[in-house]
Amino acid sequence: MDTPQPLYSAESVRELDRRVITALGVPSLALMKRAGRRAFARLMARWPDVRRVQVFCGGGNNGGDGYVVAALAAQKNIPVTACACVPPEKLSGDARSAYEYALREGVQVVQSLTDLDSEDGDTVIVDALLGTGFSGELREPLGHAVERINRSVAPVLAVDIPSGLNADTGHGDRAVRADLTVTFIARKLGLYCGRGPALCGEVAFEDLGAPAEVHQGLEPLAWRYTGESVPRLAERPADAYKNQFGHILVVGGDAGFGGAALMAAESAARSGAGLISLATRPEHLSAALTRCPEVMAHPVISGQELEPLLDSPDVIAVGPGLGRAPWGEQLLARAGRAEVPLVVDADALNILAGGRVLAGLRRDDWVLTPHVGEAARLLGWDSAAVLADPLAAAQAVQEKFSGVVILKGAGTLIAHEQGVDLINAGNPGMASGGMGDLLTGIIAALIGQGLSPVEAARLAVWLHGAAGDHAAADGQRGLLATDLLPWVRRLVD
């Protein structure tokens, strides 16, 4: 099993840059040339038939990297133009040296977007406008350069980070959309959360020879788990019996939302839970038994009827299709006080956000699974604030409610007592109803099989996304939540 990858802030990466320069005993310009060489090698590997290169350079060291790439293209006799989006006379230090290097190699430098020839399909654009030094809102003339890049038909390689994307938060309303991002020294959190996954394209990591010890004592913002580093379930013993694998109770399914609770129950079943009960509206019973007779479905018309069902399960998942009416409130009020681990999703989160039910409750043994809108309601923020800094939002929900908080997105964040984890899995086809219900069922089943809430969250988020990726082989549009179930079953072992 691999170890998770540390994800750093821009400030920590600057510190790492300094440490690498000291540790390797090389001048900073040598490191910049190394970065440029690695970026150019990645460009040639991805687009071996490139006929023309156009580099957009800013005024800092990211621009310097860009001038190095331009110089290397010229050395290979590939026609190359560098657009100096910040006037060269304003360059200093390594960026100026890199600019002069590009001139010596015969790179054509233009100073205005209007002087650039238009790009075609044989051109590769290199975005070296802004790197980790970017902060705040994008200022002109770089904004126009970003728009020009995004209008182009040519593929785009972003140097270190797509320009305009915030390396700390993944915020980027006005940022370059790249096909390939070559990032140096250390992974920046912003590449993997918020808008990062949508803007970066493929991410290629180049450590530039940084020795492992430079990371010592530097706290990452988050840890990135992949299929190789998520925890896995232990193999079942030959003499296994069902009581060893958890009894899950799913609570939900008010009138009109019966499918949500049923999907959560079925996904718990397909994730290996030993026994599954479902507490739902009486009118959903026959449908539930027809669809999945393995589930023990119980009719509940009030919180009182739920009470006796709360004694036997090992884990309770509450929320899918719960609704926000008094029926759902009563059920959540009871389930939320049960003495077993809880998975809290969907309308259970919305009721919780309302503050009248389970007011002030904090539990170490619950997993809350909000999407952006639900996180905003739990915090009393607006959604834009959550999108602007998802890490801060996930941490704030965790601080308020304790336990494990899964903030769902293209980069899903898992905030817990010890820190924050991030997982990139899944695809846009999964933006459809029912997907969250499946995740809830998976988490509950994994806790039932012995994983801690945080381990269950890590494995479940990856499993859910990976199942979605497999299922999307038949097309992302029209992907149904239940299409994932056979894949959940195949991948859970």
The answer to whether the annotation marks 136 as part of a ligand binding site is yes
Pick the piece of the chain touching ligand NAX (CB under 6 A) from 100-108, 132-140, 214-222, 383-391: 132-140
- The conformation of residue 235, written as its DSSP 8-state character, comes to P
- In the block, tokens 């977007």 appear at 113
Q: Long-range pairs for 42-50 at CB < 8 Å and ≥24 separation?
A: 42/157, 42/180, 42/182, 42/204, 42/206, 43/69, 43/124, 43/126, 43/157, 43/180, 44/76, 46/155, 46/157, 46/179, 46/180, 46/202, 47/124, 47/155, 49/122, 50/78, 50/122, 50/123, 50/124
Pick the piece of the chain touching K ion (CB under 5 A) from 156-164, 236-244, 340-348, 408-416: 156-164
Q: Which of 133, 197, 419, 450 binds ligand NAX (CB under 6 A)?
A: 133
The answer to whether the annotation marks 227 as part of a ligand binding site is no
Q: Which of 17, 127, 329, 374 binds ligand NAX (CB under 6 A)?
A: 17
127 binds, among K ion, ligand NAX, none (CB under 5 to 8 A by kind): K ion
d(CA 335, CA 252): 11
The answer to whether the annotation marks 302 as part of a ligand binding site is no
272 binds, among K ion, ligand NAX, none (CB under 5 to 8 A by kind): none
Query: What residue is closest to K ion based on CB?
Result: 163
d(CA 303, CA 168): 44
d(CA 89, CA 146): 22
3 state DSSP class of 30: helix
C-beta of 163 vs 398, nearer to K ion: 163
d(CA 54, CA 425): 32
Q: How far is the CB of 164 from K ion (least distance, A)?
A: 9
C-beta of 54 vs 62, nearer to ligand NAX: 62
The answer to whether the annotation marks 59 as part of a ligand binding site is no
- b/e 68-93 (16+ beta carbons within 10 angstroms → b): bbbbbbbeeebbbbbbbbbebeebee
Q: Which amino acid is at 386?
A: V
Determine if 163 is a binding residue for K ion (CB under 5 A): yes
Q: Which of 60, 258, 409, 441 binds ligand NAX (CB under 6 A)?
A: 60
Q: How far is the CB of 167 from ligand NAX (least distance, A)?
A: 8
d(CA 144, CA 473): 37
Q: Which of 127, 329, 345, 389 binds K ion (CB under 5 A)?
A: 127
The answer to whether the annotation marks 65 as part of a ligand binding site is yes
**Residue 155 CB neighbours (<10 A):** 18
Determine if 131 is a binding residue for ligand NAX (CB under 6 A): yes
Determine if 159 is a binding residue for K ion (CB under 5 A): yes
- Phi, psi values for residue 8, rounded to 5°: -110, 165
d(CA 314, CA 295): 15
d(CA 53, CA 33): 18
C-beta of 159 vs 230, nearer to K ion: 159
d(CA 65, CA 92): 13
**Per-residue mark of binding to ligand NAX, 172-211 (x: CB under 6 A):** ------------x---------------------------
Pick the piece of the chain touching ligand NAX (CB under 6 A) from 137-145, 213-221, 386-394, 427-435: 137-145
Name the region of 402 (left: φ>0; alpha: ψ -120 to 50; beta: rest).
left
The answer to whether the annotation marks 410 as part of a ligand binding site is yes
Pick the piece of the chain touching ligand NAX (CB under 6 A) from 56-64, 149-157, 217-225, 351-359: 56-64
The two tokens of residue 188 are: 């920046």
Q: Which of 84, 102, 142, 415 binds ligand NAX (CB under 6 A)?
A: 142
Q: Which of 4, 12, 55, 58 binds ligand NAX (CB under 6 A)?
A: 58
The answer to whether the annotation marks 253 as part of a ligand binding site is no
Pick the piece of the chain touching K ion (CB under 5 A) from 110-118, 123-131, 230-238, 308-316: 123-131
The answer to whether the annotation marks 409 as part of a ligand binding site is yes
Closest CA to 434 of 259, 316, 283, 284: 259
Query: Residue 141: is the preceding peptide bond cis (ω within 30°)?
Result: yes
Q: Tell me if 381 sits within 8 A of 389, measured CB to CB.
A: no
The answer to whether the annotation marks 23 as part of a ligand binding site is no
DSSP output for 125-141:
EEEES-STT--SSPPTT
461 binds, among ligand NAX, K ion, none (CB under 5 to 8 A by kind): none
Of 242-271, binders to ligand NAX (CB under 6 A) are none
**Residue 292 CB neighbours (<10 A):** 17
Q: How far is the CB of 42 from ligand NAX (least distance, A)?
A: 14
Of 403-432, binders to ligand NAX (CB under 6 A) are none
61 binds, among K ion, ligand NAX, none (CB under 5 to 8 A by kind): ligand NAX
Give contact residues for ligand NAX (rule: CB under 6 A): 17, 21, 28, 31-32, 35, 58-63, 65, 130-139, 142, 159-160, 184
Residue ranges for the binding site for K(+)?
62, 127, 163
Residue ranges for the binding site for (6S)-NADPHX?
61-65, 131-137, 160, 260, 321, 371, 437
